[in-house]
Amino acid sequence: MSRSATPPLEPFAIRFGESNQTLEPPGPTLQRRMSDLAGLFADTGAWERAVADGDPLVYTVSSSPVPETPRELPQSITTIYPGQTGGEFWMTKGHQHPDPQGEIYLGLDGRGGLLLFDGERAQWLDMAPGVIGYIPPGWAHRSVNVGDEPYRFLAVYPGSAGHDYGWVLEHGMGLRARRGASGVDLVPYRAAEPGSAGAPH
Ligand code: M6P
Ligand code: ZN
């Protein structure tokens, strides 16, 4: 049976699991370690050292069983652990939707930021429990943990939206979020430095 012929799901209730860490019933989960974030932090040397020094878990995504198929409305909880690499706060890879459609993020725990970039303009939304960040169609989006505790949010997005990670590697996100003397410093985007991999030793 082709995907387009898949019947929609039947109605069902979805609940937050213990400490808002999961959705119940659970669907697919994924873990992103430092090594999965190649080319994203400006300080490539600091990123390489973090990979070599235990390759820490940076964030997890726990979904409900609603699939990423057209007309369905999947949801997931993302937990970004606290940390900085080269002074830059830990963050998601960030993506653009190949099929431009909107998305909402609802802050659940901790302190975060939602960085949006349409290729020309960058926007930063402060995120906290109870805040809904609206992502309009056409804006790439990345989440950042700016606190000392896990930052957790619920995402709800159209099942046909898709994830384009190459767009972010090519265009950047307009700004970078660094730990500053009094909290978050948003600095103009600069590309990641060349890594040591291809450099002569
Ligand atoms: C949210 C949603 C997901 C996304 C996840 C992690 O939960 O936007 O679609 O996969 O964040 O973000 P990324 O895909 O950029 O790593
Ligand atoms: Zn998205």
**Tens-digit pLDDT profile for residues 119-161:** 999 999 999 999 999 999 999 999 999 999 999 999 999 999 9
**Closest Cα partner for 178 from 170, 166, 186?**
186
pLDDT band at 194 (very low <50, low <70, confident <90, very high): confident
Q: Give a yes or no: residue 195 inside a domain.
A: no
Domain count, the chain: 1
Tokens of 103: 């998305």
Mean pLDDT of 2-6: 56
Mean pLDDT of 10-33: 97
Mean pLDDT of 151-176: 98
Q: Give a yes or no: residue 77 inside a domain.
A: yes
Residues with Cβ–ion distance below 5 A, ligand 2: 103
Q: For position 4, what pLDDT does the model report?
A: 53
Q: Give a yes or no: residue 4 inside a domain.
A: no
For the domain that residue 129 is a member of, what is the CATH number?
2.60.120.10
Tokens of 130: 């109870």
Mean pLDDT of 168-187: 96
With contact defined as beta carbons under 8 Å apart, do 155 and 79 qualify? no
Residue 95 CB less than 6 A away from ligand 1: yes
Q: Give a yes or no: residue 8 inside a domain.
A: no
Q: For position 195, what pLDDT does the model report?
A: 82
Q: Dump pLDDT digits (tens) for 86-120.
A: 999 999 999 999 999 999 999 999 999 999 999 99
Q: Give a yes or no: residue 104 inside a domain.
A: yes
With the most atoms of ligand 1 within 8 angstroms of its CB, the residue from 76, 90, 114, 135 to mutate is 76
Distance between CA atoms of residues 132 and 143, nearest Å: 13
Residue 78 CB less than 6 A away from ligand 1: yes
User: Which residue did the predictor score with more confidence, 8 or 141?
Assistant: 141
Range of the domain at 48: 16-188
